[in-house]
Chain A
Amino acid sequence: KAGVTQTPRYLIKTRGQQVTLSCSPISGHRSVSWYQQTPGQGLQFLFEYFSETQRNKGNFPGRFSGRQFSNSRSEMNVSTLELGDSALYLCASRFLLSTDTQYFGPGTRLTVL
Chain B
Amino acid sequence: EDQVTQSPEALRLQEGESSSLNCSYTVSGLRGLFWYRQDPGKGPEFLFTLYSAGEEKEKERLKATLTKKESFLHITAPKPEDSATYLCAVQAGYGGSQGNLIFGKGTKLSVKP
A associates with B: yes
A-chain residues with CB within 8 Å of residue B34 when the two chains form the complex: 100-102
Interface size class of B (residues with CB under 8 A): 20 to 34
In whole angstroms, how far apart are the Cα atoms of A90 and B87 in the complex?
14
Q: Which of B45, B89, B99 contacts A56 (CB 8 A)?
A: B99
Within 8 A of A (CB), among B30-46: 31-32, 34, 36, 41-46
Given A97-B99, A100-B31, A100-B91, check contact A42 B105 (CB 8 Å).
yes
Task: Check if A103 sits within 8 Å of B46, measured CB to CB.
Answer: yes
Within 8 A of B (CB), among A64-113: 90, 92, 97, 100-107, 109
B-chain residues with CB within 8 Å of residue A101 when the two chains form the complex: 32, 34, 46, 49
Task: Check if B43 sits within 8 Å of A48, measured CB to CB.
Answer: no
Query: How many residues on chain A are close to B (CB under 8 Å)?
Result: 23
What are 15 A-B pairs with beta-carbon distances under 8 A?
A4-B43, A33-B100, A33-B101, A44-B103, A45-B102, A92-B101, A100-B34, A100-B49, A102-B46, A103-B46, A104-B36, A106-B43, A107-B42, A107-B43, A109-B41
- Given A43-B89, A109-B41, 19 new contacts (CB under 8 A): A4-B43, A35-B101, A35-B103, A42-B106, A43-B44, A45-B97, A48-B99, A90-B43, A92-B101, A100-B32, A102-B46, A102-B101, A103-B46, A104-B36, A104-B44, A105-B43, A106-B42, A106-B43, A107-B42
